[in-house]
Chain A
């Protein structure tokens, strides 16, 4: 009898535990938050950035000091997270209910947070500021299937392309005329591989979703309910990459390359072109001086005439206890004056109206850096964010695996992309 009761107690414990888990007690999706942000600007605002403290501590300390001076009843606690594992950090904070009040996000990171009710709808809470920003930038944090906008647009970029002038010269290519379209890129890449005896590859990685976008491939249907990157242009792009791989114009480790390993190949000068950011220039100067002497900077290759726009935003936590202060601070950081000051620290572009017409972004001084800055600022006026916000990390992996299979010849480009589209659309529908 006693043994039976012990068993019963154990079974009850298991059932209760399972039931608690199944009901998902305390899941963030259930928590609601008001969209109102009116009230006094007071209290401590936690502000989280994404890998910015190392290089820009002084700038942010200044912005925070200015804010606290303007709003004496508010204080800002700044935390910075490393680049690696940022989505995991956000998901842990969101699930644990410890999401900071103001969070640095990109649109694809903001989407699941907005869907779970954790991002404040700024169309309602801060709609009065809308006119201060470029319309495309403001809309970039609008989410398919959700009404509103879920982050203040912050800094923009087009992502420059670095190339090695010396390797271009040795391959008989004009170092002052890097490829600007995909057709030119494919032609130059094959020439580079042939001239170097397959020792120098033009590119270190396989095409990402942005490449498909820049190539002119339609990525999703108009309703945002299905992916469409298996259309003929997508298949054509993949076929070209397959040929590049076979010709040795794509690095042999391109199928598993990460940003870090691709950058290393470029620094080793075994790869002639690689995308990067303005911060990379400093690294080249320090780590690869011989490369730095021969560095060329150009825009990313493009068939559409519309550059890719990388957008960073500042999201306000819908469950924040200091919403008025959080909204005011997020707006303060992203206002024209502070964005302009940030743009002078590093090559980023403000998302505020009129900023790109500042002489800083329109006048060249004869150096490569200003030439690219002026060209990028000009292209940003018509740029689009090619990465669909609905494309999750798992879907990106699906696409990447499909590309690898096609490039290796294990599947035809058409079959690989058909499978990838079917799987991504299935994941989209089950999400």
Chain B
């Protein structure tokens, strides 16, 4: 008992200034104050909780509930058990969508993890005019995805600029927008191009925390730029790389706009470029939309996205371990 707390060391008074007790005791507070301490934080949290509850939790629970019904846009559904999930397993477009969404992750995510880091290293240097390049690289991020999609459709058109250039240098025209695989690759390229600036900014923040002394020590030991990158920069920003991988994986898995704009609402020739989110939109919207089936698809997309996130985080933990 060598030390006394501040409260124990002074005379504690109750309401109206009367002594609470003759001997000093640890302060427990009155019932009113205790209740206030319990209620006040919830009052602060209430607006946020209401918004999350109303706009995230309720729609989510509602989607889960609807996935067990045959609800349509204009008609309330009947409970059909797991029929929607059974149908989904036999739906060829679901498997096409799953394949394309996974391919999108495999194709776009590695590029979105590595390229922005290299860009960030480039624009990190303090040289005259670098602000212009930083702004230029970031511009696609703030551009509307619809505008970006349309611009790329014009560029990749049979008679667009890119085909004109290819023809001028002796290659024939390439059907970027007519072949299902080229269409998917083109959409991935647009996603990567549009996302570079965003992830570059995240990396720039991480690179600012890498101690310069480490680079200097490495250089003194005779390491070149590549070795310094691999042994100093990469380990220092590894947690940021995991963050970027997680964010870009989720975004790539849920891709919609780029593919929709470039491949059209049917998902490319014969629906070969349909992604899972496109499929949700395709079956769930319109006056005859199959809300029940679209809800089942949405739940599956949610579970798969969650699984993807957990995989990335697990990989990170294993690295740390």
CB of A255 within 8 A of CB of B269, answer: yes
CB-CB contacts below 8 Å: B67-119 with A: 68-77, 79
Closest to B87 in A: A430
Chain B residues with CB below 8 A from A23, complex form:
76
Interface: A393 (CB within 8 A):
yes
**Range of interface residues on chain A?**
35 or more
CB of A22 within 8 A of CB of B73, answer: no
Output the least CB separation between B63 and chain A (Å): 8
Interface: A289 (CB within 8 A):
no
CB of B288 within 8 A of CB of A112, answer: yes
Interface: A5 (CB within 8 A):
no
Output the least CB separation between B78 and chain A (Å): 9
The answer, among A17, A253, A401, for a CB contact under 8 Å with B61, is A17
Closest to B57 in A: A17
Closest to B61 in A: A17
Interface: A32 (CB within 8 A):
no
CB-CB contacts below 8 Å: A235-282 with B: 251-253, 255-258, 261, 268, 270
Interface: B11 (CB within 8 A):
no
Evaluate whether A394 and B288 lie within 8 angstroms (CB atoms) in the complex, with A22-B65, A91-B74, A94-B73 already known.
yes
Evaluate whether A253 and B65 lie within 8 angstroms (CB atoms) in the complex, with A27-B75, A112-B287, A394-B288 already known.
no
Chain B residues with CB below 8 A from A19, complex form:
65
* Contact pattern, A 394-417, Cβ under 8 Å of B = 1, otherwise 0: 100100111011001010000000
* Contact pattern, A 1-38, Cβ under 8 Å of B = 1, otherwise 0: 00000000000001001110111100111100000000
Closest to B283 in A: A394
* Cα distance, A258 to B177, chains bound together (Å): 13
CB of B269 within 8 A of CB of A17, answer: no
Closest to B91 in A: A423
Interface: A392 (CB within 8 A):
yes
CB of A24 within 8 A of CB of B76, answer: yes
* Cα distance, A397 to B157, chains bound together (Å): 23
CB of B282 within 8 A of CB of A394, answer: yes
Interface: B235 (CB within 8 A):
no
The answer, among A17, A94, A111, A430, for a CB contact under 8 Å with B62, is A17
* Contact pattern, B 42-74, Cβ under 8 Å of A = 1, otherwise 0: 000000000000000010011011101111111
* Cα distance, A182 to B181, chains bound together (Å): 32
Evaluate whether A22 and B271 lie within 8 angstroms (CB atoms) in the complex, with A95-B74, A112-B288, A270-B159 already known.
no
Interface: A109 (CB within 8 A):
yes
Chain A residues with CB below 8 A from B79, complex form:
22
Q: Looking at the complex, which of B14-22, B135-143, B225-233, B260-268 is the stretch in contact with chain A?
A: B260-268
* Cα distance, A314 to B54, chains bound together (Å): 36
Q: Is the interface of A mostly helix, strand, loop or mixed?
A: helix
CB-CB contacts below 8 Å: A80-99 with B: 87-88, 90-91, 94-95
CB of A397 within 8 A of CB of B74, answer: no
Q: Looking at the complex, which of A113-121, A164-172, A304-312 is the stretch in contact with chain B?
A: A113-121
Interface: A431 (CB within 8 A):
yes
* Contact pattern, B 124-160, Cβ under 8 Å of A = 1, otherwise 0: 0000000000000000000000000000010001110
* Cα distance, A408 to B268, chains bound together (Å): 12
CB of B159 within 8 A of CB of A18, answer: no
Interface: B285 (CB within 8 A):
yes
Evaluate whether A256 and B76 lie within 8 angstroms (CB atoms) in the complex, with A22-B69, A392-B288, A404-B270 already known.
no
* Cα distance, A299 to B290, chains bound together (Å): 37
Chain A residues with CB below 8 A from B159, complex form:
268, 270
Output the least CB separation between A397 and chain B (Å): 5
CB of A30 within 8 A of CB of B266, answer: no
* Cα distance, A394 to B79, chains bound together (Å): 22
Interface: B9 (CB within 8 A):
no
CB of A113 within 8 A of CB of B175, answer: no
CB of B286 within 8 A of CB of A113, answer: no
* Cα distance, A22 to B267, chains bound together (Å): 31
CB of B270 within 8 A of CB of A113, answer: no
Output the least CB separation between B87 and chain A (Å): 9
CB of B61 within 8 A of CB of A90, answer: no
CB-CB contacts below 8 Å: B262-306 with A: 263-271, 282-283, 285-290
* Cα distance, A112 to B75, chains bound together (Å): 9
CB of B158 within 8 A of CB of A87, answer: no
B-side interface residues, number (CB < 8 Å): 42
* Cα distance, A270 to B73, chains bound together (Å): 40
Interface: B178 (CB within 8 A):
yes
Output the least CB separation between A255 and chain B (Å): 4
Output the least CB separation between B297 and chain A (Å): 13
Closest to A28 in B: B74
Output the least CB separation between B42 and chain A (Å): 13
The answer, among A91, A261, A397, for a CB contact under 8 Å with B287, is A91
Output the least CB separation between B207 and chain A (Å): 41
Output the least CB separation between B299 and chain A (Å): 13
* Cα distance, A21 to B62, chains bound together (Å): 6
The answer, among A21, A91, A113, A257, for a CB contact under 8 Å with B65, is A21
Evaluate whether A22 and B270 lie within 8 angstroms (CB atoms) in the complex, with A91-B289, A394-B290 already known.
no
Evaluate whether A400 and B266 lie within 8 angstroms (CB atoms) in the complex, with A88-B286, A252-B175, A253-B157 already known.
yes
CB of B268 within 8 A of CB of A30, answer: no
Output the least CB separation between B298 and chain A (Å): 13
CB of B270 within 8 A of CB of A90, answer: no
Interface-centre pick from A21, A251, A270, A404 (highest chain B CB count, 10 A): A21
* Cα distance, A19 to B61, chains bound together (Å): 10
Chain A residues with CB below 8 A from B74, complex form:
27-29, 91, 94-95, 112-113, 115-116, 118
Closest to B68 in A: A22
Output the least CB separation between A104 and chain B (Å): 14
CB of A397 within 8 A of CB of B76, answer: no
* Cα distance, A8 to B266, chains bound together (Å): 45
CB of B271 within 8 A of CB of A401, answer: yes
CB-CB contacts below 8 Å: A138-191 with B: none
Chain A residues with CB below 8 A from B157, complex form:
253
Chain A residues with CB below 8 A from B71, complex form:
24, 27
Chain B residues with CB below 8 A from A118, complex form:
74
CB of A256 within 8 A of CB of B266, answer: yes
Closest to B69 in A: A22
* Cα distance, A90 to B178, chains bound together (Å): 32
CB-CB contacts below 8 Å: B154-175 with A: 157-159, 175
Interface-centre pick from B65, B264, B271 (highest chain A CB count, 10 A): B65
Q: Beyond the given A253-B177, A393-B286, could you list 11 further A-B residue pairs with CB under 8 A, ordered by the A residue number?
A: A17-B58, A17-B61, A17-B62, A111-B287, A268-B159, A392-B286, A393-B285, A393-B288, A394-B290, A408-B270, A430-B290
Seen from chain B, the residues whose Cβ lies within 8 Å of a Cβ on chain A are 58, 61-62, 64-66, 68-77, 79, 153, 157-159, 175, 177-178, 183, 263-271, 282-283, 285-290
Q: List 5 A-B contacts (CB under 8 A).
A: A19-B65, A21-B66, A22-B66, A116-B75, A393-B286
**Complex A-B, nearest 8 residue pairs according to Cβ-Cβ distance, in ascending order:** A24-B76, A27-B76, A116-B74, A21-B65, A255-B269, A29-B75, A404-B270, A392-B288
